[in-house]
Amino acid sequence: MKTIILAGGFGSRLSEETEIRPKPMVEIGNRPILWHILKIYAHYGYNDFLIALGYKGEHIKRYVTEYASLSANLTVDLSKGTVETHEQDGKMEDWRVVLVDTGWHTETGGRLLKLEPYLDDTTFMMTFGDGVSDIDVNALVAFHRAHGKLATLTAVRPPARFGHVELEGDQVAKFSEKPQVGEGWINGGFFVLERKVFDYIDGEDTHFQREPLERLAREGQLMAYKHASFWQCMDTLRDKILLQQLWDDETAPWKVWP
């Protein structure tokens, strides 16, 4: 099963980092967040990726192109102009990555539409290039196959941005810092989709999170896989700092791989 990663947005709310590179290439622990997302899926055996490029997509092309050579030992024959890679301590990734330029100004539905020719199967996965989670991808896929609908999104509870205060009159009865369980469910990405969802996308100006998902919901074709554990998008510099701190502390919940 192929996994689509939408990696073409401008990332304007993280402009401190995205002026010089696309958001999926912003680093957590000296690795692009895109790498972290690929590692999550690969841990569950999903190694076949389609990446929708847009804003500064050449950075992602360069990274993926150079990844194998930078991660391996090399034999370079200057006289023949050849480079042979050698696996280094079993660290070579078993990934197949297709990189497709979907345009700078294409919306998410349009990016997805432009990748349809590269899909083989009727069922595929999709996520955004800026969010990580400790989601069990196999359980997500099993949930999707069991209900038989066209689309599954992962519903998550985001961490609250501020401490929660419960009052009794003017007295603080209870204070809790960032109470995740107190927040409502939101769309956290990590989709499983059937190919028929392309019928719900009108063109490259379509926002997938709007008309297509709203119509799928109205028709009873959209299900939610509830994931109450860790999920975090990297939307702002604050989010980036939080993810970096978790990684530095060796407490990153999304690091499900060995």
Residue 72 pLDDT more than 90? no
The average pLDDT across 126-148 equals 97
Give mean pLDDT, residues 227-250.
Answer: 95
Question: How many Å apart are CA 53 and CA 237, to the nearest integer?
Answer: 22
pLDDT at 46 over 90: yes
Element of type H or E holding 41: helix 33-43
Q: Which CATH number fits domain 3-153+185-248: 3.30.460.10, 3.30.450.40, 3.90.550.10, 3.40.50.1000?
A: 3.90.550.10
55 phi, psi to nearest 5 deg: -60, 120
Task: For residue 150, name the pLDDT band (cuts at 50, 70, 90).
Answer: very high
| pLDDT for res 126 | 98
The per-residue pLDDT for 169 is 75
For the segment 167-189, the average pLDDT, to the nearest whole number, is: 67
Cα 83 to the center of its chain, rounded Å: 32
CB 135 within 8 Å of CB 190: yes
The helix, strand and coil proportions of the chain, stated in percent and rounded to the nearest 5, come to 35, 30, 40
Is it the case that residue 41 has pLDDT exceeding 80? yes
| Band of pLDDT at residue 173, cut at 50, 70 and 90 | low
Q: Which pLDDT does position 184 carry in this prediction?
A: 74
Q: Which candidate, 43, 41, 35, 102, places its Cα nearest to that of 70? A: 35
Q: What is the C-alpha separation between 121 and 87, in angstroms, rounded? A: 30
